[in-house]
Amino acid sequence: MRIGARGSPLSLAQTGQLRALLAEALGLAGEEIDTHLPIIPITTTGDRIQDRPLSEAGGKGLFTKELDDALLDGRIDCAIHSLKDVPTQLPDGIVLLAGPKREDRRDALVSVSGLGLSDLKHGAVIGSASLRRVAQLKHARPDLSVISLRGNVGTRLDKLKAGQCDATLLAAAGLARLGYRDVPHVMLDPVAMPPAIGQGALAITARAGDTKTASAFARIADHMTEIEVAAERAFLTALDGSCRTAIGALAQLDTHGDLTFIGEALDADGTTRWRKEAHLSAASVATAQHLGADLGAQIKAMAGDRLAGVHG
């Protein structure tokens, strides 16, 4: 089974970690892992574009297109992504498989000083290329100055150390997967500032009808994560969300099977926020999808043309 991954350090790290889980489930060890589960690095358009925000270059598909093409023409058998990078509409012939247990879905505010959001000085400069993060920052702290900061995690941390900004926002899961747990940071409250759709979760794409690959990954699939991300992606779909839309969501399933959902959309400057919350008992994938879609439709109706204008 040839596993496709982006060539970025984070993608290769999390693909290696997922492959280790899969190898253990399949009873593979040592050289057998590289022989039977080789990782095929593929550079994507999103990796090559570093001079402007993705919202100006074409959106999420920039991180998946080359891997989708490799799947469809048979060069790889599956591809591993950060779920937050995967568009809600997949190409014909490609399916999304359930992934392993989700890691921390929160955003981390990283600064040289390790200060929290409320402690940053008036007018502090924050580096981020995420429309959602920028809008949420401006909503919480209108005094902050936000500049575009692209690049992989290591590059952004280097730019922070070089003084290009006072702080930046990164996914906590990415920091952990790359071994940056000791970098000075403060976790943001995911209720006050919901993360990206699917943040902290890994996505596995495969060819439709490939039962062998689907059966292998079913061994490490986490059903609680599957329900949570089903709600979040349905919410995003209902809002026609993309990298050009400031949308965040937090779906949390407890051990009793009850789902709590918080979803929001913001205008680009964070002035206006549309937000919905709901609870669902004994959630399933289907009922979670229905809940997410319903709340997304409600926000779309509330925002009307004002949200449509965010798409640019």
Task: Please tell me whether residues 157 and 167 are part of one structural domain.
Answer: yes
What residue has token string 């995690």?
A: 153
pLDDT tens-digit profile, the chain (312 residues): 999 999 999 999 999 999 999 999 999 999 999 999 999 999 876 555 555 555 554 555 677 889 999 999 999 999 999 999 999 999 999 999 999 999 999 999 999 889 999 999 999 999 998 999 999 999 999 999 999 998 889 999 999 999 999 999 999 999 999 999 889 999 999 999 999 999 999 999 999 999 999 999 999 999 999 999 999 999 999 998 655 789 999 999 999 999 999 999 999 889 999 999 999 999 999 999 999 999 999 999 998 877 754 443
Torsion sign, CA atoms 50, 53, 56, 60: positive
- Residue 8 sits in the same domain as residue 82: yes
Is position 196 within any domain?
no
Active-site residue flag, 210: no
215 and 94 housed in the same domain: yes
Which amino acid is located at 89 in the chain?
A: Q
| Domain, as residue range, for 22 | 1-101+201-221
What's the pTM value of the predicted model, to 2 decimals? 0.91
Residues 230, 305, single domain; the answer is: yes
> Positive or negative, the Cα torsion across 171, 252, 3, 179?
positive
Residue after which a domain boundary falls, among 165, 187, 209: 187
Same domain, yes or no: 53 and 140: no
What is the predicted pLDDT for the residue at 310? 47
Q: How many domains does the chain have?
A: 3
Q: Based on the fold, state whether residues 180 and 290 are members of the same structural domain.
A: no
Does residue 192 lie within any of the structural domains?
Answer: no
Q: Do both 93 and 133 map to the same domain?
A: no
Residue 35 falls within a domain, yes or no? yes
Pair 232, 193: CB distance under 8 Å = no
Q: What is the CATH number of the domain that holds 271?
A: 3.30.160.40
Q: What is the dihedral of CA 72, 74, 76, 80, to 10 degrees?
A: 10
What pLDDT shows up at residue 99? 96
Q: How far apart are CA 142 and CA 33, in angstroms?
A: 50
Contacts for 291 with CB less than 8 Å, ≥ 6 apart:
231, 234, 259, 261, 278, 280, 283
Residues 96, 161: one domain?
no
Q: Is residue 194 assigned to a domain?
A: no
Strands 202-207 and 246-253, by their bridges, are: unpaired
Residues 287 and 163 in one domain: no
Q: Which residue has the tokens 């502090």?
A: 124
pLDDT of residue 309: 47
Catalytic residue of the set 85, 107, 166, 267: 85
Q: What is the pLDDT of residue 150?
A: 82
**12 and 26 part of one domain:** yes
Q: Which of 72, 108, 81 is closest to 233 using CA atoms? A: 81
- Chain-centre distance of CA 25, in angstroms? 25
Q: What CATH number should be reported for the domain holding residue 26? A: 3.40.190.10
Do residues 81 and 111 both lie within one domain?
A: no
CA distances from 30 to 18, 24, 27, 227 (A): 15, 11, 10, 34
Q: Does a structural domain hold residue 193?
A: no
Query: Looking at the structure, do residues 75 and 134 belong to the same domain, yes or no?
Result: no
- Whether 152 is covered by a domain: the verdict is yes
